[in-house]
């Protein structure tokens, strides 16, 4: 009797232990993200971080990424490369060899992404570049690099066509570009686009990285009285240039700056002088897609971003979140986190996300988007192209 009672008690204890045993913990998917979190490019780096964090939080709140019976929580491993490209390459390698990440998000911008892509290729680790558009990033024959920005010409051609077909008396263009891979590349692309549309480039000048006084170059530009001034650089550059243009009284019929005006910080920093500044970017909150990714529709993504950050997302933040969402879709399609299988899933992807249609060309660069052109009017960025999301016509006649 005592023996039967003991066996019964043991059975009850075992069953109770099974009932209270915690569920098996999820696996962890580690993604390396070298970013310029300090230094002159830190505004851009922090924007990417916000997009990545929103994606990771959304995935983990939803229960993780489910792959062949396993569930993975997302962990993003950040390393600050202090806005120094050589350090970006070093940190990318360290993330793979020491931190054992499964995948990589590229450093900020075309120059650093191109430099770090050789590391991803050598270790055969898929790397998604959320902020690299220059064609020279994708002409290396690499198989493990994928980018969410279309080529620079997809920004410059619509801009040039809008101006050339406006009916306004615009014929001359002055180009002023930061001597860095992307800013110089898109400046050269604009030179081609203006030529394609019977506009004359009367000056093409470059400024060095870190330039803090543009007065001499801008004064020379003023003498030629261009109808259209096209400047390139990153947000801190363009805020400074816009302020100095205002001080010097440079008021062309059109002022285009790429890519700082896409950020609310540009409007906040330049105030009324931001009005009528035109630009182009790879995404705008006005687009509307019904995506198959974790965020779903564009409106749902914007709402999630606003809820987390109390701000409207810009193209850099959206592209970073899209990079994560695209990687997640590729992992689910591959049914594994094995790098080569995920790489193959990325290469064959043809879907729609909140960010837009996603398909990568043979070189790994996205070829399925139509980037918006916009102009700041009355303190707000308003789309003027493409027609389906147009909010306003371009204004001409001098910068306020």
Dist CA 367 CA 121 (whole Å): 21
Lowest mean pLDDT among 37-41, 86-90, 208-212, 396-400: 396-400
| φ/ψ of residue 385, rounded to 5 | -165, 145
E strand map for 150-308:
172-178, 200-207, 228-232, 254-258, 277-280
Given CATH 3.40.50.2300, say whether it is the number of domain 27-150+286-359.
yes
Q: In this predicted model, what pLDDT tens digit does every residue of 215-252 receive, in sequence order?
A: 999 999 888 999 999 999 999 999 999 999 999 999 99
pLDDT range class, residue 398, cuts 50, 70, 90: low
Taking CB atoms within 8 Å and a gap of at least 24, the contacts of 299-308 are 300/354, 301/354, 301/355, 304/54, 304/58, 305/50, 305/54, 308/54, 308/57
Dist CA 40 CA 35 (whole Å): 12
Instruction: Give domain limits for the chain.
Output: 27-150+286-359, 153-281+372-389
* Mean pLDDT, range 362-369, rounded to an integer: 97
The answer to whether the Cα torsion of 96, 99, 103, 108 is positive or negative is: negative
Q: In this predicted model, what pLDDT tens digit does every residue of 321-353 receive, in sequence order?
A: 999 999 999 999 999 999 999 999 999 999 999
For residue 15, pLDDT beyond 70? no
Q: What DSSP state is assigned to residue 197?
A: T
What the block records as the tokens of 52 is 């990545």
pTM for the whole structure? 0.88
To the nearest 10°, the Cα dihedral for 93, 94, 95, 97? 80
What length is written for the chain? 400
Contact 396, 171 (CB under 8 A): no
pLDDT range class, residue 17, cuts 50, 70, 90: very low
CATH level 3 topology of 153-281+372-389? Rossmann fold (3.40.50)
Contact 292, 324 (CB under 8 A): no
For residue 383, pLDDT beyond 80? yes
Q: In this predicted model, what pLDDT tens digit does every residue of 198-218 receive, in sequence order?
A: 999 999 999 999 999 999 999
Residue 83, sorted as left (phi over 0), alpha (psi -120 to 50) or beta, turns out to be left
Would you tell me the crossing angle of helices 109-123 and 85-97 to the nearest 10 degrees?
30
What the block records as the tokens of 367 is 């070829």
Contact 273, 242 (CB under 8 A): yes
Bridge pairing between strands 228-232 and 350-353 = unpaired
């Amino acid at each position: 009797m005592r023996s039967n009672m003991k066996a019964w008690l043991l059975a009850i204890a075992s069953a109770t232990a099974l009932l209270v045993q915690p569920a098996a913990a999820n696996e962890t998917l580690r993604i390396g993200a070298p970013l310029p979190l300090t230094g002159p490019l830190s505004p851009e780096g922090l924007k990417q971080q916000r997009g990545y964090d929103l994606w990771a939080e959304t995935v983990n709140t939803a229960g993780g990424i489910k792959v062949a019976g396993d569930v993975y929580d997302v962990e993003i491993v950040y390393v600050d490369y202090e806005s120094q490209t050589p350090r970006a390459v070093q940190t990318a390698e360290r993330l793979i060899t020491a931190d054992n990440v499964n995948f990589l998000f590229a450093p900020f911008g075309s120059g650093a992404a191109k430099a770090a892509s050789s590391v991803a290729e050598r270790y055969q680790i898929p790397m998604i570049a959320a902020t690299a558009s220059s064609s020279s990033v994708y002409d290396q024959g690499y198989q493990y690099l994928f980018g969410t920005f279309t080529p620079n010409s997809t920004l410059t051609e619509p801009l040039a066509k809008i101006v050339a077909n406006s009916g306004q008396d615009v014929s001359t263009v002055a180009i002023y570009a930061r001597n860095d891979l992307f800013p110089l590349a898109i400046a050269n692309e604009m030179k081609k686009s203006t030529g394609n549309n019977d506009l004359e480039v009367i000056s093409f000048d470059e400024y060095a990285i870190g330039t803090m006084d543009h007065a001499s170059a801008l004064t020379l530009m003023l003498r030629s009285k261009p109808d259209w001034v096209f400047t390139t650089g990153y947000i801190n550059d363009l805020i400074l240039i816009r302020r100095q243009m205002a001080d010097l009284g440079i008021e062309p019929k059109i002022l285009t700056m790429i890519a700082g005006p896409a950020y609310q910080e540009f409007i906040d920093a330049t105030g009324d002088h931001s009005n009528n500044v035109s630009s182009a970017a790879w995404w705008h909150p006005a687009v509307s897609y019904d995506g198959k990714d974790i965020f779903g529709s564009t409106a749902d993504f914007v709402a999630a971003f606003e809820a987390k950050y109390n701000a409207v997302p810009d193209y850099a933040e959206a592209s970073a979140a899209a990079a994560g969402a695209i990687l997640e879709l590729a992992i689910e399609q591959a049914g594994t986190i094995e790098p080569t299988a995920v790489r193959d899933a990325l290469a064959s992807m043809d879907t729609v996300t909140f960010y837009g249609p996603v398909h990568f060309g043979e070189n790994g660069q996205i070829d399925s988007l139509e980037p918006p052109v916009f102009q700041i009017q009355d303190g707000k960025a308003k789309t003027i192209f493409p027609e389906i999301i147009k909010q306003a016509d371009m204004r001409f006649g001098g910068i306020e």
